[in-house]
Amino acid sequence: MSEPLMVMEGLVKAYGSASGPRAVDDVSLSIRPGETLGIVGESGSGKSTLLRLVLRLVQPTAGRILLEGQDVWKARGGELRKIRQTMQAVFQDPASSFNPRQSIGTILSAPLEVHGIGNKASRRTLIAETLERVGLPASTVSRFPHQLSGGQRQRIAIARAVILKPRLLLADEPTSALDVSVQAQVLKLFAETKRDLGLTAIFVSHNLAVIRQVSDHVAVMRSGKLVEQGPTRAIFENPQTDYTKALLAAVPDPFRPFREDNGASAS
């Protein structure tokens, strides 16, 4: 089997002091090239904090993160720039991660300029190609975030993340703020983009149905700790911990009343 693209070793994030409350408590995970790791848990379980540690938005109290063997938190200068290009993120609310005064064209060209990719002409071409990839017309470049729907803004967020051709895509609840019908469209786009570009992904969500749909492996978190991990099918069909069983039991089942009624009438 291939070597992991990313390895997390003994990650801890404590607040106040090293002995303070732990949002992430001794978490170790790895993800291989081409896989999607789904991280699931209730609110406050530490899953989003874990993603922020990976993105260098929050510094770990202990542990380390290796991306292609490079320690993410020890990287400086050119090494750090390469890491930032290698992994990109899509957040829950794209509106809050955009500058409302910038056009979509400016938003998409910014990462290309920062990393010194191409010239103005080639950037325009790449932006148009990337917009087409996410299902938006090239004319979108002249629009502003407030002129787009929630689903369109999330498509722009995905476009901004993949325009640098990263190897690792990190998604933090990217569909939770969207209507159900739009969620399905964005998840389909996520899957197609991952497949077409050969991406590896970490997908964080409290929605078990979404995690089951997009993930190859699943990690279940509770109170900052990793309580269970394994292949998606094994986690959903044969959970090993009471907490995972409780999470699965809490998933709404719209057909349960009909089954119960039929069972009652049959008896």
Give the pLDDT band (50/70/90) at residue 1. Answer: low
Higher pLDDT, 75 or 175: 75
Give the pLDDT band (50/70/90) at residue 145. Answer: very high
Total residue count of the chain as it appears in this document: 267
Residues 232 and 218: their CA atoms lie apart, in Å, by 5
Q: Could you tell me whether strands 217-222 and 70-71 are parallel, antiparallel, or unpaired per DSSP bridges? A: unpaired
- Domains in the chain: ranges and CATH: 6-47+56-260 (3.40.50.300)
- Give the pLDDT confidence score for residue 33 in this predicted structure: 95
Residues 36 and 38: their CA atoms lie apart, in Å, by 6
30 phi/psi in degrees, rounded to 5: -140, 155
Residues 89 and 20: their CA atoms lie apart, in Å, by 28
At how many degrees (to 10) do helices 120-133 and 104-114 cross? 120
Q: What is the mean pLDDT of residues 255-265?
A: 48
Give the pLDDT band (50/70/90) at residue 95. Answer: confident
Q: Could you report the per-residue pLDDT of 196-252, keeping only the tens digit for each?
A: 999 999 999 988 888 999 999 999 999 999 999 999 999 999 999 999 999 888 776
Note the helical H segments in 99-144.
104-114, 120-133
- Give the pLDDT confidence score for residue 261 in this predicted structure: 56
At how many degrees (to 10) do helices 104-114 and 150-162 cross? 20
pLDDT at residue 99 is higher than 70: yes
Of 233, 170, 232, the closest CA to residue 199 belongs to 170
Compute the mean pLDDT over every residue in the chain, rounded to the nearest whole number: 90
Q: Could you report the per-residue pLDDT of 33-91, keeping only the tens digit for each?
A: 999 999 999 888 999 999 999 999 999 999 999 999 999 999 999 899 999 999 999 98
Residues 201 and 217: their CA atoms lie apart, in Å, by 11
Of 27, 9, 50, 12, the closest CA to residue 229 belongs to 27
Give the pLDDT band (50/70/90) at residue 171. Answer: very high
Give the pLDDT band (50/70/90) at residue 180. Answer: confident
Note the helical H segments in 19-149.
47-54, 77-86, 104-114, 120-133
Strand order in the sheet with 22-31: 22-31, 6-14, 62-67, 70-71
Place of tokens 């400016």: 106
pLDDT at residue 254 is higher than 60: no
Give the pLDDT band (50/70/90) at residue 4. Answer: very high
Encoded tokens for 3: 């070597």
